[in-house]
Amino acid sequence: MKKESRSKTEVSVSLKKYSLEAVRYAAHAASSAARVFIRTSGRDAAVVEFEPTGKLPGAKIAAAFKAELEDEALRASVYEANRELRDFMILKALSASEAAQKPRQDDSGLTPEQEKELDALIAQVESEIKQEAAAGASADPLGITKTWEDKYGAKKSRKKN
Amino acid sequence: MALKKAAKRTEPAGPPQLLWRRDGAECLVTNDFGHYAWLKRKDFDLLLAGRLGEKHPAYAALADKGFIRDRLDFDGLAAKWRSKNAYLNSGPGLHILVLTLRCNHKCLYCQSSAAGVGSKDTDMSAATAKKCVDFAFQSPNPGITIEFQGGEPLLNWEALKAAVLHARAKAKKAGKDLRLALVSNFSLMTEEKAQFLMENEVSICTSLDGPADLHNRNRVFCGGNSHAATVKWLKFFQARHARQVPEYRVFKPSALLTVSRYSLGRHKEIIDEYVKAGLEDIFIRPLAPIGYAKNLWGQIGYDAAAFGKFYLESLDYILKLNRAGVTLREKMASMMLDKIVNSRDPGYLDARCPCGAAIGQVAYNYNGDLYTCDEGRMVGWEGDDAFKIGNVRQDPYRKVMTSGAARACVLSSNLESQPDCARCAYKPYCGVCPVYNYETQGSLWGDMAVNDRCGLFKGTFGALFAMLKKPANEAILKKWVAK
């Protein structure tokens, strides 16, 4: 699986066993110690070449890459098994916090002129409502403003003596 | 909430959602809810295979923490996630007003790229300061912190006074919880100014880089002795804090430590200086190659390993002092511990996901220009407005919050889309800085595999988790965040 030439080290990875994505991420983890080049070799293999940039020898970097590749395969299975569950949990948390959120106060997104117009409009509507209420205050044909007691007298106690 | 007994199963439950870090014969596992556990390799393999049996001694604790896939307490864990990420719904809470770029110090590492004392054209006007306060109050956050910075903010006293009074009046009307904070080198502090600040409940923070020779080497003050002024006023505010008056609260003053190359190897002297000054917190901050410090990096900078060593030696020494009965906490460790131990957001904007840029803080330059953060403003001062999000006189709140720079910072600091971070066991507690990435690696995303800031954070988390493993240390560290 491993081939060394001068300072470079190559590792061949079976793409039947690992996805190319897993190879890429595991290789990226090794990029702090080496320049990494990835190429495919036929349909079923990838070759990862490490050119060390520091003191760590190629063989050690390759070993760390292989360990990372195993972990990356595990991460993929953990992710796949939990994707929906994780989405559900975060959605549950987020939706609960949305419900608990207070109504917004400031920042209407309007310009000062638009805000003035809106204030004038609200004032006009409020004054119309007041006027209507004042005009109809005495007229209450259905007796809506009367209490139950006013209309039918006080409720009699059903308590037995 | 008590968990129901799981139904008898025939199939393994499958692996739980978790992140891990292998450390010798053990594995540190963490999850989205901020829980963590140390497992032996064999148990880790069983857990991942979904075959860790109910009789296993670690089973109950792992189930409580959301590591057993078919024993999840949905409500409890969702509440944990909410509390850990509470900032997502609150809008910017920190508003940094740069009242002037003028400064009477010439600190070696000054990130704020200060202007000379004579250049008054970099002063914020009182009218702009009030506009900035008005803008800050548009944030839906129920708690607003306004921090006055510079340059040296006391050089623009009129604007500072106007902003403080306006903010206090505004908070009363809006019913918001307002905190005011001043970051000053104290060289221009007078009793009259101090009285005004105390009466208006402005908390005070200064810089203290260690003993006099080190402090004055880092923080050059042509007009006098920077260290002497700092210590004098620290003592003044401490004395006033000790004898409170009924009319207002006097806060305990605090100090920040910036570690330059000259500080390395002197951790004991620096920490002793903090204890001597009566301070109970020390914030050990690394230099960032931003602004003026970038140009002098070869002279005063260091790599992540050098800072990591300094930081760990400092933590060890602080714990030793704690064991001897001295009260002292390291601020960065405290904030990270608050996340690890309490699943709480300590308000540390640099270690959030997404980071605090715009959605957690706004920096207001002297001319009313708005930036994602103070570091973004410093990049702007160098002539690159990549992090400018608007102007307080021209742009409405909504436009600022949805500006290109704000959105770019949110996207690039989302750890789910950072390939290394999404796989890192420290992800539930960490955060990246797009400004740092931009300045040091040329892109907002950066490359965490070779990112010094990431190296520093990993070192710090590694040290904290290792310390938490030892019961004696664990007890002390938990006390730091037991509030």
pLDDT tens across A109-129, in order? Answer: 566 677 777 777 777 777 777
Comparing CB atoms, the residue among A28, A96, A111 nearest residue B449 is A28
Q: Distance (Å) from the C-alpha of residue A96 to the closest C-alpha of chain B? A: 8
Chains A and B form CB pairs within 8 A to the count of 80
Inter-chain residue contact B397 with A106, CB threshold 8 Å: yes
**Partner A, chain B 257-316, Cβ-Cβ below 8 Å:** none
Inter-chain residue contact B89 with A97, CB threshold 8 Å: yes
- Whether the predicted pLDDT of B203 surpasses 80: yes
- Whether the predicted pLDDT of B247 surpasses 60: yes
Inter-chain residue contact B78 with A81, CB threshold 8 Å: no
Inter-chain residue contact A102 with B142, CB threshold 8 Å: yes
Q: Is the CB of residue B170 less than 8 Å away from at least one CB of chain A?
A: no
> Which neighbouring-strand residues pair with B202?
B180
Residue environment code for B450-464, b if the CB has 16+ CB neighbours within 10 A, otherwise e: ebbbbbbbbbbbbbb
The sign of the torsion formed by the CA atoms of B443, B447, B448, B452 equals: negative
Between CA B111 and CA B292 the distance in angstroms is: 5
pLDDT of residue A104: 47
pLDDT digits (tens, 9 = 90+) for B42-58: 999 999 998 899 999 99
Inter-chain residue contact A89 with B397, CB threshold 8 Å: no
- Whether the predicted pLDDT of A107 surpasses 70: no
Write down the pTM of the prediction: 0.85
Q: Distance (Å) from the C-alpha of residue B94 to the closest C-alpha of chain A? A: 17
List C-alpha distances in Å: A37 to A52, B333, B465.
11, 38, 34
Inter-chain residue contact A97 with B86, CB threshold 8 Å: yes
- Whether the predicted pLDDT of A141 surpasses 90: no
The sign of the torsion formed by the CA atoms of B466, B427, A36, A70 equals: positive
Q: Is the CB of residue A161 less than 8 Å away from at least one CB of chain B?
A: no
Inter-chain residue contact A77 with B15, CB threshold 8 Å: yes
Lowest mean pLDDT among A95-104, A142-151, B441-450: A95-104
Inter-chain residue contact B77 with A89, CB threshold 8 Å: yes
Q: Is the CB of residue A12 less than 8 Å away from at least one CB of chain B?
A: no
Nearest-by-CA chain A residue for B21: A71
Q: Is the CB of residue A74 less than 8 Å away from at least one CB of chain B?
A: yes
Q: Distance (Å) from the C-alpha of residue B375 to the closest C-alpha of chain A? A: 26
- Contacts with A96 from chain B: Cβ below 8 Å: 78-79, 82
**Which two tokens mark B161?**
């006074």
Nearest-by-CA chain A residue for B69: A82
Q: What's the pLDDT band for A160 if we cut at 50, 70, 90? A: very low
User: Which of A65, A79, A86, A107 to probe the B interface (max B CBs under 10 A)?
Assistant: A107
pLDDT of residue B9: 55
Inter-chain residue contact B423 with A75, CB threshold 8 Å: yes
Nearest-by-CA chain B residue for A99: B89
Between CA A28 and CA B449 the distance in angstroms is: 7
Inter-chain residue contact A105 with B174, CB threshold 8 Å: yes
Identity of the residue numbered B430: C
Lowest mean pLDDT among B29-43, B100-114, B256-270: B100-114
pLDDT of residue A142: 65
Identity of the residue numbered B278: G
**Which two tokens mark B309?**
């060593």
Q: On the CB side of B155, how many CA atoms lie within 13 Å of its CA?
A: 25
> Is the CB of residue B227 less than 8 Å from the CB of residue B186?
no
From the list B213, B212, B88, B208, the residue with the least C-alpha distance to B140 is: B88
pLDDT of residue A42: 92
The domains of chain A, with CATH numbers, are 2-83 (3.30.1360.10)
Give the pLDDT mean for B317-335.
97
> Is the CB of residue B122 less than 8 Å from the CB of residue B84?
no
% of chain B with per-residue pLDDT over 90:
84
Give the pLDDT mean for B82-93.
91
Give the pLDDT mean for B319-330.
97
Q: What's the pLDDT band for A137 if we cut at 50, 70, 90? A: low
User: Which of B11, B67, B71, B81 to probe the A interface (max A CBs under 10 A)?
Assistant: B81
Inter-chain residue contact B14 with A81, CB threshold 8 Å: yes
Comparing CB atoms, the residue among A25, A105, A107 nearest residue B398 is A107
> Which neighbouring-strand residues pair with B98?
B149
pLDDT of residue A108: 56
pLDDT of residue A159: 45
Is the peptide bond preceding residue B354 cis, with omega within 30 degrees of 0?
yes
Between CA B251 and CA B231 the distance in angstroms is: 16
Nearest-by-CA chain B residue for A98: B89
- Contacts with A97 from chain B: Cβ below 8 Å: 82, 86, 88-89
Between CA B280 and CA B473 the distance in angstroms is: 18
From the list B89, B91, B470, B115, the residue with the least C-alpha distance to A93 is: B89
Phi/psi for B269 (5° steps) reads -60, -40
pLDDT of residue B119: 76
Phi/psi for A72 (5° steps) reads -65, -40
Q: Which DSSP state fits A95?
A: H
pLDDT of residue B311: 94
> Is the CB of residue A94 less than 8 Å from the CB of residue A43?
no
Interhelix angle B191-199/B226-242, rounded to 10 degrees, is 40
- Contacts with B79 from chain A: Cβ below 8 Å: 93, 96
Instruction: Give how far the C-alpha of residue B134 lies from the chain's centroid of Cα atoms, to the nearest Å.
Output: 25
Between CA B47 and CA B17 the distance in angstroms is: 11
Inter-chain residue contact B138 with A31, CB threshold 8 Å: no
Q: Quick one: three-class SS letters along chain B?
A: CCCCCCCCCCCCCCCCCCEEEEECCEEEEECCCCCEEEEEHHHHHHHHCCCCCCCCCCHHHHHHCCCCHHHCCHHHHHHHHHHHCHHHHCCCCEEEEECECECCEEECCCCCCCECCCCHHHECCHHHHHHHHHHHCCCCCCEEEEEEECCCHHHHHHHHHHHHHHHHHHHHHHCCEEEEEEECCCCCCCHHHHHHHHHCCEEEEEECCCCHHHHHHHEEECCCCHHHHHHHHHHHHHHHHHCCCCCCCCCCCEEEEEECHHHCCCHHHHHHHHHHCCCCEEEEEECCCCCHHHHCHHHHCCCHHHHHHHHHHHHHHHHHHHHCCCCCEEHHHHHHHHHHHHCCCCCCHHHCCCCCECCCEEEECCCCEEECCHHHHHHHHCCCCCCEEEECCCCCHHHHHCCHHHHHHHHHCCHHHCCCHHHCCCHHHCCCCHHHHHHHHCCCCCCHHHCHHHHHHHHHHHHHHHHHHCHHHHHHHHHHCCC
Give the pLDDT mean for B276-289.
93
Between CA B292 and CA B382 the distance in angstroms is: 9
pLDDT digits (tens, 9 = 90+) for A31-84: 999 999 999 999 899 999 999 999 999 999 999 999 999 999 999 999 999 999
The region that residue A83 occupies, defined by phi over 0 for left and psi between -120 and 50 for alpha, beta otherwise, is: alpha
Give the pLDDT mean for B182-211.
97
Between CA B126 and CA B134 the distance in angstroms is: 12
Average pLDDT over all residues of chain B:
93
**Which two tokens mark B263?**
């500080």
- Largest Cα separation within chain B, whole Å, is 79
Nearest-by-CA chain B residue for A22: B419
Q: Is the CB of residue B85 less than 8 Å away from at least one CB of chain A?
A: yes
Q: Is the CB of residue A29 less than 8 Å away from at least one CB of chain B?
A: yes
The region that residue B325 occupies, defined by phi over 0 for left and psi between -120 and 50 for alpha, beta otherwise, is: left
Q: What's the pLDDT band for B367 if we cut at 50, 70, 90? A: very high
- Contacts with B419 from chain A: Cβ below 8 Å: 25, 28
Q: What ranges make up the beta strands (E) of chain A?
A: 2-5, 8-14, 34-40, 45-52
Between CA B284 and CA B333 the distance in angstroms is: 9
Comparing CB atoms, the residue among B78, B88, B419 nearest residue A92 is B78
List C-alpha distances in Å: B328 to B226, B280, B319, B442, B466.
24, 4, 8, 38, 20
From the list B152, B167, B141, B100, the residue with the least C-alpha distance to B358 is: B141
- Contacts with B88 from chain A: Cβ below 8 Å: 94, 97
